[in-house]
Chain A
Amino acid sequence: MGVMKRMSGILQAKTNKLLDKAEDPRESLDLSYQKQLESLQKVRRSVADVTTAKKRIELQATQLQGQADKLQTQAKAALTQGNEDLAREALARRAALADQLADLQTQHEQVSAQEQKLIDTAQKLQTQVDAFRTKKETMKASYTAAEAQTKIGEAVSGISESMSDAGMSMQRAQDKIDGMQARAGAMDELLASGALTDLTNPVDDIQAQLNKASTTSTVDAELAALKAEVGAGSPAPAELPQADAEESSS
């Protein structure tokens, strides 16, 4: 048996679970309609879940991007202070973040694709359910036991198959998102615990070194100003060679 025939049997088995045996075929129309509404709700919830997953990834990307930008600024500041080693360190950390950002970007594309598919599924199902609602009333009105039984059975089986298909699409999206959710959870923990901070660092060591260098230069400037003041106040020729020595050493 080919793939298409086997798939058909598998979808049929899933669909049978959705079918109710009602005494009156007309009743089965209403029972089916109830299930359709429930299915529709599930698909909508599933869309909402995927959208939440997408937002989470966006938030993480924003946080990582913020850290990357900060490292860029720090690298520039370090260079301004003439500390090339520190600038190199900041850029190296920024490169590590760029890899993670690229990974998030890929995840974002995948989640967005799943989101779009589910939105399409929900829209199609909605259209079918609306059409079914109209049709079931027509069928009930023109009901004659002999032929209607077959027609109703076919209509109910037909739309139930669409619900099975939607259910499978939903499950598939969920499976794909689950793997990403686990990674996103791990990333959240890293961001929160500061483990990522050690690696990529928000302020600490690089900023501390920059701050220290900046403080040192302020102190140097103040010291120079003081020396000038003291030098101007008292005629101390002994100060001059010292100032010269300092100048030549810098």
Chain B
Amino acid sequence: MIVRILGEGQYAIADAERSALDDLDAALLAAVESGDEPAFARALAALTAEVRRAGTPVADDAFAPSDLVVPFSDATLEETRDLLAEPGVEPAKDER
């Protein structure tokens, strides 16, 4: 699968890593919902670190849409919440 960190680029990650990413994502979502800024910063740092660790940067001449997108690595809770409030395309099916 391909994961993009906003403002940074795409990483190719083995599907086997998905559950580890999902756990970190769940912690991030919980922090967004509870409005816990320090927890948000920690969760975001952990998620971006895991994407960079587990992933291989996608070459500049390989063009493919991302399966998952991580917020800007230095995003604030507020701007992430604002962004999440924007209309998005419903994934065709929440596969995986």
**A and B are interacting partners:** yes
Pair A3/B25 contact, Cβ less than 8 Å: yes
**Which residues of chain B have C-beta atoms less than 8 A from A128's C-beta?**
60-61, 63
Residue of B nearest to A4 (CB): B68
A165 touches B29 (CB 8 A): no
Contact A8 B71 (CB under 8 A): no
Which chain A residues lie closer than 8 Å to B89 at the CB level? 9-10, 12-13, 16
Closest to B75 in A: A172
Q: How many residue pairs bridge A and B at CB < 8 Å?
A: 111
Interface centre among A127, A134, A165, A172 (most CB of B within 10 A): A165
Q: Is A7 an interface residue (CB 8 A)?
A: yes
Taking the nearest CB of chain A, how far is it from the CB of B15, in angstroms?
A: 14
A128 to B65, CA, bound (A): 14
B69 part of interface (Cβ distance < 8 Å): yes
Which residues of B in the span 19-36 have a Cβ within 8 Å of any Cβ on A?
21-22, 25-26, 28-29, 32
> Are B7 and A121 interface neighbours, CB within 8 A?
yes
Interface pair B25/A157, CB less than 8 Å apart: no
Could you say which of B47, B65, B72, B87 contacts A154, with CB atoms under 8 Å apart? B65
16 contacts between A and B (CB under 8 A): A2-B28, A4-B25, A6-B88, A8-B4, A9-B88, A10-B83, A10-B84, A13-B87, A13-B88, A128-B60, A131-B61, A157-B64, A161-B66, A165-B4, A165-B7, A172-B79
Interface residues of B (CB under 8 A from A): 3-4, 6-7, 9, 21-22, 25-26, 28-29, 32, 47, 60-72, 79-80, 83-84, 86-91, 94
A contacts, CB < 8 Å to B:
1-13, 15-16, 117, 121, 124, 127-128, 131-132, 134-135, 154-159, 161-162, 165, 168-169, 172
